[in-house]
Amino acid sequence: MKKLLKALVILTIAALVVACGAKPGDDKVEGPVVLKVWGAQEDQELLTERVDAFKAATPDIEWEITLGVVGEPDAYDMVTQDLETAADVFTFANDQIFDFVGAGALYEVTRNKDEIVSANVAGSIEAAEVDGKLYAYPMTADNGYFMYYDASVFTEDDVKSLDKMLEVANAANKKVFMDVSNGWYIASFFLGAGNTLDIKDGKQVTDFNNETGVKVGEAIRDFTAHNAFLTGDDAILQAGMGDTIAAGVSGTWTADGIQAALGENYRATKLPEFNLGGTQTQMGSFAGYKFMGVKTSTKHPVQAMMLAEFLTNEESQVKRFEARGMGPSNIKAGASDEVQANVALAALAEQAAYAQGQKNVLGSYWAPAEAFGTELEAKSTKDIKTMLDEMVTQIEEAQ
């Protein structure tokens, strides 16, 4: 039934796109250009300022631009459930792009494409493309994770090895934090070991249950069984950092809280190496980006593209970094002294060498991966190979 409903949604959207027949043309229009923009609650103040700046930069057009609160995680569901009433321009996470394009909901970027491509880091552009066509405007390049740590507990050498971190933390009666029951984080072990997530015939496939994957599963079990291991959400990490927690895996969004807690002992670095069947192996990670997109049924495609481009240009990305500490995808913005001096963003850049994009991750991956991690956090003694086989079956068949 879910597949049938999804197919009906896609067919309906496709029909709307054909009926609309919008083509990029002259930037000039008669009468007001009415556009709606969706962004996260935390971005509303910045979006208001940026929209005002956009209007001031394009005084020849009469604009009627309204803002709405829809965060990146909810963008796909909210846009595709009613494309006609959805925002013309909206933010979303890069792992939704295949679903968006498959549903026929994203307008191809046809205005100033070469300039947009050259202005942003290659990984963000690759993540915004499907079949060689650009479908989104890169907005940030900081949707990844790394290791925060307390320099009063760990040395720079300590944090290179997960085993060493656990040893040192345990001796100091402290914890090493990681949300292993989150599919985003637990993948770091598998990706570092060389396991893969791929898409074939529109479905998720993975080798997380092969011989290497079993070794990975055993390594994760050893980690979660250690006395110094602690799991939970970001609230637990921030509340405990500098007290019971000496190190934790998270992203830039927790930087302010962790810096406030650690003060002069505030540090961050790439993820450590872990013991993979006797071999020290660098942990991988997901490299995520946030985008802006334009819906296919917008009545003003050219003007919507103008707005999306402005809201993601160098100036807007600098403003976003200044307001919220979000890492730019724009090359010039990312090269600024202020961005380079940011401890969290520097750690993210260090981890980037071992990170992979989420482009090949479909929705069917997340719940089974979470269930696998939850079992290990609960100290399950179940056979690892059996657990991995179950997880992979659920990932590949629940589509």
Least confident of 97-111, 209-223, 291-305, 336-350: 336-350
| CATH code: domain of residue 60 | 3.40.190.10
pTM: 0.74
Q: Token pair of 257, please?
A: 């809280």
| Residue 169 DSSP SS3 | helix
Co-location of 159 and 217 in the same domain: yes
Residue 183 has pLDDT above 80, yes or no: yes
pLDDT value at residue 1: 43
Pair (148, 240) in one structural domain = yes
Question: How large is the average pLDDT for residues 102-109?
Answer: 96
| pLDDT tens readout for residues 189-224 | 999 999 999 989 889 999 999 999 999 999 999 999
Same domain, yes or no: 134 and 173:
no
Do both 245 and 384 map to the same domain?
yes
Dihedrals phi, psi of 186, to nearest 5 degrees = -65, -25
- Does 19 have pLDDT greater than 50? no
> Are 225 and 106 in the same domain?
no
CA distance 28 to 208: 53
Closest CA to 350 of 193, 144, 173: 144
Same domain membership, residue 243 and residue 150 = yes
| Higher per-residue confidence, 20 vs 242 | 242
Q: Look up residue 253 and give its two tokens.
A: 């969004």
| Domain co-membership, 321 together with 233 | no
Which of 316, 335, 352 terminates a domain? The answer is 352
Same domain, residue pair 120 and 148: no
What is the distance, to the nearest Å, from the Cα of residue 99 to the centroid of all Cα atoms in its chain?
Answer: 15
Strand ranges for the chain from DSSP E: 33-39, 63-69, 89-93, 129-130, 133-134, 137-143, 146-150, 175-177, 197-200, 203-206, 229-230, 245-250, 266-269, 273-276, 279-282, 285-294, 355-357
d(CA 306, CA 300): 10
Same domain, 311 and 253: no
Band of residue 34 on the pLDDT scale cut at 50, 70, 90: very high
pLDDT for 3 beyond 60: no
Q: What integer best gives the mean pLDDT of the chain?
A: 91
Q: What is the pLDDT of residue 27?
A: 62
Both tokens of residue 135? 């479908």
- Cα distance between residue 316 and residue 46, in whole Å: 9
> How high is the pLDDT of residue 399?
57
What is the residue type of 183?
A: G
How far is it, in rounded angstroms, from Cα 290 to Cα 95? 9
Domain containing 65: what range? 2-142+287-352
- Select the more confidently predicted residue: 189 or 348: 189
User: φ and ψ at 313, to 5 degrees?
Assistant: -75, 180
- The answer on 274 and 210 residing in a single domain is yes
Q: Are residues 388 and 338 in the same domain?
A: no
Res 234 pLDDT > 80: yes
Is 358 in a helix, a strand, or coil? coil
Cα diameter, the chain: 72
How many separate domains does the chain show?
2
Residue 130 pLDDT greater than 50, yes or no: yes
> Same domain, yes or no, for 188 and 298?
no
